[in-house]
Amino acid sequence: MDKKYMAEPYRIKMVESIRQTTKEERIKLLKDAGYNPFSLRSEDVYIDLLTDSGTGAMSQEQWAALMRGDEAYAGSRSFYRLEKVVKAITGYKYFIPAHQGRGAEQIVLPQLVTKKGMYFISNMHFDTTRAHVELAGARAIDCVVDECFNTQEYHPFKGNFDLLRLEQIIQEKGKDNIAGIIMTITNNSAGGQPVSMENLHATKAIADKYGLTVIIDGARYAENAFFVKQREAAYANKSIRAIAKEVFDMADVFLMSAKKDGLANMGGIIAIKEDEALFQLCRTYIVPMEGFPTYGGMSGRDMDALAVGLEEALEEDYLLHRLDQVRYLGDRLRDAGVPIQYPTGGHAVFVDCKVFAPHIPFDQFPAQAVVNEVYLEAGVRPVEIGSFLLGRDPDTNENIESPLELMRLTIPRRTYTYNHLDVVADAVIAVYKRRHDLKGVEFEYEPPVLRHFTARLKPVK
């Protein structure tokens, strides 16, 4: 693709209407939603940047594949078509579908926790991964490089493992107490930040030294591969598929929320390289929890759409445009002085709300306060990734202070144009200009698990 003349690499064939609301309407809607935009109806949102999960547009090939889908419970052709694609991309021996990423997590992670007092170590656990680690009776330790927390400084791979600390943690906790090393690629929670191939190889070498299982949490593995190609000289001439394969070669298990780089609206993947015993355990537990092992919570048509989407997500034109949209929004904000995680990562622009609203303490959730104002400003729905999301320490029940208080402006795949992104940028910049007037929020209702999804809040007086 000629970058100089780059526009969306698709023509729009079908549209979904979106509607602007008035500021008065939004004030009432947000109050009714308990100052938690998760509880808004999407019809009351003008530009929805809550998530890139299952919110992208499918291609004509995927829609055609939907029609091809079988609805058989056991052994459908759809399952075997999807299995073939997953095995070809990963090179793994075993595949089980799940209804989405957390479905895959709830099946696999408990199998790796073989006794009390175990730990998973990740560059950074995603929130549902952390929840499933804890539900399985283990503890989650994040081990990302310090550069990740300095949002203003350029670093090409802010998702990298801190290798020294990784080894220290293994030695301190004892290798027999480590249930696995989870490579989260890209690192969603810190800004969709990539992990370099060099760092993944070094992490793998440490895992091998101590005989540890490596799990890829690879919701955005294709975006990660594209960053490796762009930012790591040795990979400039390799195909995305080859780069991804090199990553899969390093791991034992691949868990994927296929709602991201599967370009599907629903779906999850469990792929196991060669551990037959683990595969049998997962096949057993998937039945009561997700469904029979040849559908695992997915319908035949969804499996067919995913089989096509997995291939399309590896296309370079698609990835170039995808990451350029994120860069574009990030540049517009940076040019206006708005602090963002820099450089931008794969699926979203993350606004640093510790810098944006330093007068709001962490337990009044500064990023949530900014999220709410952006909705009030223009009907744009971002999401908080900070102390509100992080929750409480399972041992002490104290609020955990997140090292980063981020507002994520998540860009769905193939869905919005650069015009939409201009509206988003204008809204965030307008809120930035009156940032000193923002107030924090406090709980009206706090759920015990994954509280950010369903909590009700109110502005601090």
| Residues between 74 and 103 that touch ligand PLP (CB under 6 A) | 100-102
Q: How far is CA 351 from CA 107, 370, 428, in A?
A: 34, 9, 9
Closest CA to 8 of 421, 461, 436: 421
Q: Is 219 a catalytic residue?
A: yes
The catalytically annotated residue of 260, 273, 347, 354 is: 260
Question: According to CB under 6 A, which one of 36, 53, 59, 368 is a site residue for ligand PLP?
Answer: 53
Is residue 184 close enough to count as binding ligand PLP by CB under 6 A?
yes
Distance CA 445, CA 4 (A): 51
| Residues between 268 and 307 that touch ligand PLP (CB under 6 A) | 268
Distance CA 33, CA 138 (A): 34
How open is the CA angle 165-166-171, to the nearest 5 degrees?
95
Distance CA 261, CA 247 (A): 15
Is residue 126 close enough to count as binding ligand PLP by CB under 6 A?
yes
Question: Among the candidate windows 126-134, 140-148, 231-239, 364-372, which touches ligand PLP by CB under 6 A?
Answer: 126-134
Question: Among the candidate windows 124-132, 166-174, 316-324, 443-451, which touches ligand PLP by CB under 6 A?
Answer: 124-132
Nearer to ligand PLP, 219 or 378 (CB): 219
| Residues between 229 and 258 that touch ligand PLP (CB under 6 A) | 257
Q: Is 126 a catalytic residue?
A: yes
Shortest reach from residue 125's CB to ligand PLP, in Å: 8
Region at 289 (left for phi over 0; alpha for psi -120 to 50; beta for the rest): alpha
**Residues 372, 353 contacting (CB under 8 angstroms):** no
Shortest reach from residue 376's CB to ligand PLP, in Å: 25
Q: Is 452 a catalytic residue?
A: yes
Phi first, then psi: what are they for 332, rounded to 5°? -60, -40
According to DSSP, the β-strands at 268-272 and 383-385 are unpaired
Question: Among the candidate windows 24-32, 121-129, 277-285, 380-388, which touches ligand PLP by CB under 6 A?
Answer: 121-129
**Residues 376, 30 contacting (CB under 8 angstroms):** yes
The interface mask with ligand PLP, positions 195-234, x = CB under 6 A, is ----------------------x-x---------------
The interface mask with ligand PLP, positions 315-354, x = CB under 6 A, is ----------------------------------------
Question: According to CB under 6 A, which one of 130, 158, 259, 301 is a site residue for ligand PLP?
Answer: 259
The DSSP annotation for 245-313 comes to HHHHHT-SEEEEETTSTT--SS-EEEEESS-HHHHHHHHHHHHHHT--TTTTT--HHHHHHHHHHHHHT
> 161 forms bridges with which residues in the sheet?
144
Q: Is 73 a catalytic residue?
A: yes
Is residue 160 close enough to count as binding ligand PLP by CB under 6 A?
no
Nearer to ligand PLP, 70 or 217 (CB): 217
Q: Is 432 a catalytic residue?
A: no
Nearer to ligand PLP, 263 or 378 (CB): 263
Q: Is 217 a catalytic residue?
A: yes
Nearer to ligand PLP, 268 or 366 (CB): 268
Closest CA to 371 of 419, 408, 325, 334: 408
- Helical ranges in 296-398 per DSSP H: 300-312, 316-335, 353-356, 366-378, 387-390
Enumerate residues 6+ apart whose C-beta is below 8 A from 260: 52, 53, 219, 220, 347, 413
Is residue 123 close enough to count as binding ligand PLP by CB under 6 A?
no
Question: According to CB under 6 A, which one of 123, 151, 188, 325 is a site residue for ligand PLP?
Answer: 188
Length of the chain, please? 461
- Give the interface with ligand PLP as residue ranges (CB under 6 A): 53, 100-102, 126, 128-129, 184, 188, 217, 219, 257, 259, 268
Catalytically active residues are 73, 126-127, 217, 219, 260, 452
